[in-house]
Amino acid sequence: MALLKSMMGRLRKGLDRTRKAMGGGLRALLGGKRLDENLIRDLERALIQSDTGVATTRKLITGVRDAYKTQRLNTGDEVIEYLKRELKALWPEQDRALHFSADPGVPTVILVAGVNGAGKTTSIAKLAHALHEQNKSVLLAACDTYRAGAVRQLEIWAERLDMQVVKGQQGGDPAAVAFDAAEAAISRNVDVLIVDTAGRLHTQDSLMRQLTKIRDVVRRRIPQAPHEVLLVLDATTGQNATQQARQFAQAIDVTGIFLTKLDGTARGGVVIAIQQETNIPVKFIGVGETPADVEPFDPDRFVDALFADE
Amino acid sequence: MFDRLSDGFSSAFKKLSGKGKISEANVREAMDEVRDALLDADVNYEIVNDFCDSVVDRAVGTEVTKSLSPQQEMVGIVHKALVDLMSAPTEPGVPRVSPGPTVVMMCGLQGSGKTTTCGKLAAYLKKRGRSVMLAAADLQRPAAVDQLRTVAQQVETEMPGGAQVHFYAEPDKVAEYGKAVGAAITVCQNAYKAAKAKGVDTLILDTAGRLHVNDDLMGELRAVNRALQPHHILLVVDAMTGQDAVNSAKAFHEQLEIDGVILTKFDSDTRGGAALSVKKVTGAPIRFIGVGEKLDAIEEFHAERVAGRILGMGDVVSLVERAQQEVSEEEAERMAEKMAKGQFTMEDFLDQMRTLRKMGPMKQLLGMLPGVGQALKDVQVDEKQLDRIEGIVNSMTPTERKDVNKINPSRRKRIARGSGVKPEEVSQLVKQFGVVSKLSQQFSGMGIKGKMKAMKDLQAAGGAAGALGGMGMPALPGMGRKGSTHTASPKTRFKKRRK
Ligand SMILES: Nc1nc2c(ncn2[C@@H]2O[C@H](COP(=O)(O)OP(=O)(O)OP(=O)(O)O)[C@@H](O)[C@H]2O)c(=O)[nH]1
Ligand SMILES: Nc1nc2c(ncn2[C@@H]2O[C@H](COP(=O)(O)OP(=O)(O)O)[C@@H](O)[C@H]2O)c(=O)[nH]1
Ligand SMILES: [Mg+2]
Ligand SMILES: [Mg+2]
């Protein structure tokens, strides 16, 4: 755990781009203004355009409006404080650290899943890079045996990051690859095994069952595994993200979310709804395409970024 | 994908029904719910507001035709407005330019589906006798070149059609993120020369995914655009995209003047409001939708159908199209008649089940039916159970299939052994078949509402009754001359998902 803390610390210090790029927007929208119906409507627009969703937005706006009518909120600055409190309260004390194997003799297994093109493989490169920097030995499992070029993509990352990959036949059984990888992780005595999987829509029952099988097969070799199950979510996704979170959680008991592509203009507001409905913690955010472009999730900064200017 | 949006409309318009006349007040009330439904469907906030205002304007003062309820009238108005918003007068497909080669450039955000769609377009063109060259201009995503090469090979070897599929790449130009910016220009120019020399019909350029705010990479695309002047610049957009769809589409359009849009991952359960947003901000026609990972999973875009789905009319047209590939109209009529007369046998049932299963996964088919999509959101269609049922019927003799009453205990044992199930399962199937054939007789005479209710009852009955219910019932979708109202659900066995 101490190790992870230091990793987080490094990330915090080194990579603070989100704040620079996106922070302060909330203030620009509301700061120094008198509160009135127009400002409330602007706020509603900002929330909706962040993909926060109708239900959550309505709840927040109703709160603001009630407080405005009873004169508990009179200025934009007060609204900022109020909203920050409300939104941050959605993220209570939550364990946002990566979970590691309690037994140093047993490799930590991280299973990574998500819909097509969400950013799974790239995010794995980011995690692997961060762990590697912490002198952890990392092994990658190329369980996307379906998409053209997927194995090669992971292999290239492994070459660049100087680590090994376990792979199988193109078109072969991904669960078999996962099993071999678990075996290899034990025999090679690595610290962390990260399992890449093929992108799949949460509506595809048979592919979701395949995912469960991958998890179960790894468990046959390493009973406590996977220690971490990360769902990779594209921040540009709209309200469908909630559905994704629910279905993946059902199939493989997701323990954390990796929210990608926050370096674009999308705000990823759906994680507010996801947080309320599923309580799955967001653990990391992706802010670019290189292995260094990752940050731990920080609700405060995220809340600020939600209201950034367009 | 528009299931939940459809639901929003249905509940909004329920309020209008029976009120007799469209007034500003009841339209506004209904539009509030329409507005929420559209926002929940990820249509951009500003576009939703404009849309709702325009619908109110159109609706107020509309004379309600005697034969229609205000709700139906409103549905018509909203439907028309949606179609207007999403459609554009355009030639379908990828119009050929002469002299060739016709140049197509794909562009879009990371992971939106560009490379896969390149393959799908190549397959689409190959099928139509047009030769294609796929050029790998994504030089930065690891293995992007390998991905396109594999896709090109798959189209060449596995997809139907006569024309040739070529692949062009310069793998030595590949570099890490940020280090290959600009190299794509040369690759595209060389690919063009190669395509021209080979007399290829269409050249498709697969470019790297990029953020619309990345000036370097957007500059690269602008340069390719200047150098090659592609005839079709196609923006590939993930149908699950949220509010940000307008920002990225606007930026791509401002810098490249895109000619068309392709929406991918339409096979998901997203409500897909991005379709409306992107069309609105670019004005470019939506040309295709991607409906799966396979190379034939691409369809031409039809605004009417999508608007129809939004309004809860189901995508009956697509369903009928598929059905027509499998069954003749006479056959369908014959079945419907049999059912109406209560002469539907196990044999017919088996036939229908096989036919339906040829059309695609059951859940996908059901999703196309009006009103069924939402009900199906959380259910699992158990294809294995269908296999079992098929197995049981297969083990029956023709006599038994014609008249299930002939199945006595010893016959039942034999059937069970033959299909590897317990004798009780055979009895259960037989019993439920009885219920269903009676129901289906009644069903044939019902209107759509009654049918939906009957479907619900059946589903509640559960088990194989559910399976039989839909399979056997009212023949294959509205292929008859009377149009789509014949359509009812080929329902199958449902298992409620554990919460
Ligand atoms: N800008 C940006 N791009 C990202 C980020 N994460 C991933 N990408 C890009 O998104 C695209 C898809 O990423 P992949 O890692 O291949 O996604 P995947 O989920 O493994 O995709 P499939 O295996 O095809 O389902 C690539 O072009 C990545 O470079 C991010 O945080 N920011
Ligand atoms: N389900 C589904 N997946 C798709 C569709 N189009 C593309 N994909 C998948 O989305 C992922 C990203 O696609 P890719 O073509 O590599 O995207 P690119 O990064 O834009 O080139 C891959 O896993 C594809 O298989 C589609 O229409 N439906
Ligand atoms: Mg991948
Ligand atoms: Mg690509």
Q: Quick one: pLDDT band at residue B37, thresholds 50, 70, 90?
A: confident
- B49–chain A Cβ distance below 8 A for any pair: no
Q: Are residues B297 and B321 in the same domain?
A: no
- Rg for chain B (alpha carbons), in Å? 26
Q: Do A49 and B146 lie within an 8 Å CB cutoff? A: no
Specify the pLDDT at position B358.
66
- Does domain A108-299 match CATH 3.40.50.300? yes
Domain of B270: which CATH number? 3.40.50.300
Between A91 and A141, name the one with better pLDDT: A141
Taking only the tens place, the pLDDT of each residue in B292-303 is 999 999 999 888
Q: Quick one: pLDDT band at residue B318, thresholds 50, 70, 90?
A: low
Specify the pLDDT at position B337.
72
Q: Are residues B178 and B271 in the same domain?
A: yes
Q: Are residues B210 and B346 in the same domain?
A: no
How far is the C-alpha of B190 from the C-alpha of B11, rounded, in Å? Answer: 57
Between A232 and B452, name the one with better pLDDT: A232
Task: Please give the residue of chain A at the shortest CA–CA distance from B212.
Answer: A264
Domain boundary among B56, B86, B116: B86
CB nearest A149 (choices: B40, B146, B497): B146
How far is the C-alpha of B9 from the C-alpha of B310, rounded, in Å? Answer: 8
Specify the pLDDT at position A137.
96
The count of structural domains within chain B is 3
Q: Quick one: pLDDT band at residue A121, thresholds 50, 70, 90?
A: very high
Distance B107 CA to ligand 4 centre (A): 9
Q: Please provide the average confidence, as pLDDT, over all residues in chain A.
A: 88
Q: Are residues B114 and B177 in the same domain?
A: yes
CB nearest B242 (choices: A45, A201, A270): A270
Specify the pLDDT at position B447.
45
Taking only the tens place, the pLDDT of each residue in B133-167 is 999 999 999 999 999 999 999 999 999 998 999 99
Q: Quick one: pLDDT band at residue B24, thresholds 50, 70, 90?
A: confident
- pLDDT over threshold 80, residue A283: yes
Which residues lie closer than 8 Å to B59 by C-beta, 6 or more apart?
A: B22, B27, B73, B74, B77
Flag whether B22 is in a domain. Answer: yes
Flag whether B94 is in a domain. Answer: no
Which residues lie closer than 8 Å to A140 by C-beta, 6 or more apart?
A: A124, A128, A154, A157, A158, A163, A164, A165, A166, A193, A194, A195, A196
Domain of B442: which CATH number? 1.10.260.30
- B277–chain A Cβ distance below 8 A for any pair: no
Q: Are residues B145 and B198 in the same domain?
A: yes
Q: Are residues B280 and B180 in the same domain?
A: yes
Q: Are residues B162 and B67 in the same domain?
A: no
Instruction: Summarize the confidence of residues A193-199 as an average pLDDT.
Output: 98
How far is the C-alpha of B186 from the C-alpha of B317, rounded, in Å? Answer: 45
**Domain extents in chain A:** 2-90, 108-299
Q: Are residues B291 and B330 in the same domain?
A: no
Q: Would you put residue A148 in left (φ > 0), alpha (ψ -120 to 50) or beta?
A: beta
Instruction: Summarize the confidence of residues A3-8 as an average pLDDT.
Output: 40
Q: Are residues B392 and B472 in the same domain?
A: yes
Specify the pLDDT at position B67.
52
Exposed / middle / buried, residue B223 (Cβ in 10 Å: 0-12, 13-18, 19+): middle
- pLDDT over threshold 50, residue B479: no
Domain boundary among B269, B302, B335: B302
In this prediction, what percent of chain A has a pLDDT beyond 90? 69
ipTM: 0.91
Tokens of A168: 């199988």
- pLDDT over threshold 80, residue B307: no
Find tokens 């080669």 and name the residue: B101
- Rg for chain A (alpha carbons), in Å? 21
Specify the pLDDT at position B131.
97
User: 3-state secondary structure string, B385-415?
Assistant: HHHHHHHHHHCCCHHHHHCHHHCCHHHHHHH
- B54–chain A Cβ distance below 8 A for any pair: no
Q: Are residues B332 and B297 in the same domain?
A: no
Q: How far does A148 lie from chain B, in Å, by closest CA?
A: 5
- pLDDT over threshold 70, residue B129: yes
Range of lowest pLDDT (A282-296, B284-298, B384-398, B470-484): B470-484
Specify the pLDDT at position B7.
55
Contacts of B169 in chain A (CB under 8 A): none
Task: Name the most confidently modeled range: A62-66, B39-43, B332-336, B380-384.
Answer: A62-66
CB nearest B244 (choices: A118, A241, A265): A265
Closest alpha carbon to B490 in B334, B341, B337, B386: B386
Please indicate whether residue A127, judged by its CB atom, sits closer than 6 Å to ligand 1: no
Task: Name the most confidently modeled range: A94-108, B66-80, B264-278.
Answer: A94-108
Flag whether B431 is in a domain. Answer: yes
Q: Quick one: pLDDT band at residue A87, thresholds 50, 70, 90?
A: confident
Flag whether B93 is in a domain. Answer: no
For residue B332, what are the domain limits?
316-496
What are the beta bridge partners of residue A129? Answer: none
Please indicate whether residue A286, judged by its CB atom, sits closer than 6 Å to ligand 1: yes
Residue ranges of B 135-164 with Cβ closer than 8 A to chain A:
140-144, 146-151, 154
Task: Please give the residue of chain A at the shortest CA–CA distance from B381.
Answer: A205
In this prediction, what percent of chain A has a pLDDT beyond 70? 91
Distance A199 CA to ligand 3 centre (A): 6
The torsion angles phi and psi of B234, rounded to 5 degrees, stand at -110, 125
Domain boundary among B255, B275, B302: B302
- How far the first Cα of chain B sits from its last, in Å, is 22
Closest alpha carbon to B269 in A257, A205, A235: A205
CB nearest A117 (choices: B112, B245, B381): B112
Q: Quick one: pLDDT band at residue B427, thresholds 50, 70, 90?
A: confident
Taking only the tens place, the pLDDT of each residue in B215-240 is 999 999 999 999 999 999 999 999 99
Flag whether B334 is in a domain. Answer: yes
- pLDDT over threshold 50, residue A245: yes
Instruction: Summarize the confidence of residues B199-223 as an average pLDDT.
Output: 96
Q: Do A48 and B140 lie within an 8 Å CB cutoff? A: no
Specify the pLDDT at position B398.
86
How far is the C-alpha of B453 from the C-alpha of B456, rounded, in Å? Answer: 5
Please, are residues A189 and A147 in contact by the beta-carbon 8 Å criterion? no
Q: Are residues B264 and B340 in the same domain?
A: no
A-to-B residue pairs, Cβ atoms closer than 8 angstroms:
152
Please, are residues A169 and A145 in contact by the beta-carbon 8 Å criterion? yes
- How far the first Cα of chain A sits from its last, in Å, is 38
Specify the pLDDT at position A6.
38
For the entire predicted model, the pTM comes to 0.78
- pLDDT over threshold 70, residue B360: no
- pLDDT over threshold 70, residue A28: yes
Distance B208 CA to ligand 4 centre (A): 6
What secondary structure does DSSP assign to B344-392, as a single string? --HHHHHHHHHHHHHHS-HHHHHHTSTTHHHHTTTEEE-HHHHHHHHHH
What are the beta bridge partners of residue B260? Answer: B234
Helix (H) or strand (E) holding B149: helix B144-158
Task: Please give the residue of chain A at the shortest CA–CA distance from B213.
Answer: A264
- B459–chain A Cβ distance below 8 A for any pair: no
Residue range A2-90, CATH number: 1.20.120.140
Specify the pLDDT at position B294.
94
Please, are residues B112 and B235 in contact by the beta-carbon 8 Å criterion? no
Torsion angle of C-alpha atoms A262, A264, A267, A268, degrees rounded to 10: -50
Between B405 and A19, name the one with better pLDDT: B405
Burial A165-181 (b: 16+ CB within 10 A, else e): bbbbebeebbbebbbbb
